[in-house]
Structure 1
């Protein structure tokens, strides 16, 4: 009989964890977001120590390292504005991160969904840190096709956001398929 009680208790614990009511299940996701932020910030600090603004180094025939600043959003959207965009994008990043934490706490057992949200949050906060510290986002990854077309420079935070968005779409497609 004691064994049966343990097994019921254990099942109760697991089901509460699946529903997201356990705060401890949030910790791994926040840890992963912290790793994304750390890698992003270390890469940006390194590039700013090694390169002068606009300095470029060819790595392959299609990839350069280059130090550039982005005062706007993706693809330098609104970069030429007077500076208000810094505060708007910072606020959006913080609000989105707070909402993501709420979603992670509610759906911590949905692994792919949480991976997606965590990568998006880590990337968003990495760029928020830049905006708060420097007034712009540091970008340095420059992919190009010969000298004809250069994809806008980006950073590891942007890469995490794109990867997270891809995983989010994949998770949604899998959910709809079921």
Structure 2
């Protein structure tokens, strides 16, 4: 069993909390200021604010599954977040290559869980597209989704390099 380093990386949960608060604030703005499915251009031909309800997961995966997916994705997000918090407790505070992606994923997972519990769906509102092509719009997303993607990309990118302190050992 791996012992907990002192000091551990649990302080990175402060970043998760800040991002979670920002996610919920932006979703509140979207719900109170936007009309459902009515685009508001930000950059014509590229970016709209468009309020949508996502009953599934990424790219509306399982959105038509009948309702069970709400609780499945909620439970999955809690399990993943709990595992990542436990991992942060065993990660040295200065290991930002591990802690930052975990903090991002935790923020995003919990941000979308709050929506699933409150609304029964996830509030999405960022709508990117290329107006000069026949390509469809990118699936609408939110701050929580961006945190999850950023965390996942960070995990992959940082897995290819080791921390400086570990170089030359082995």
| Aligned equivalent of 1:134, options 119, 128, 140 | 119
| Aligned equivalent of 2:142, options 133, 155, 158 | 155
Alignment size in residue pairs:
159
**Distance in 1 between residues matched to 2:92 and 2:116, nearest whole Å:** 29
- State the 1:127 CA deviation: 0.3
The answer as to 2:158 corresponding to 1:171 is: yes
**CA-atom RMSD, angstroms?**
1.8
TM-score (normalised: structure 1): 0.84
Deviation per CA, 1:145-173, whole angstroms, max 9, x where unpaired? 11622000000000011111111111100
Aligned to 1:44: 27
Structure having the higher helix fraction is 1
**Distance in 2 between residues matched to 1:25 and 1:126, nearest whole Å:** 24
Decide whether the 8 Å contact of 2:5 with 2:89 is kept in 1.
Answer: yes
Structure 2 unaligned regions, length at least 5? none
TM-score (normalised: structure 2): 0.88
**Distance in 1 between residues matched to 2:24 and 2:9, nearest whole Å:** 23
Aligned to 1:94: 78
- State the 1:20 CA deviation: 3.6
Higher-Rg structure is: 1
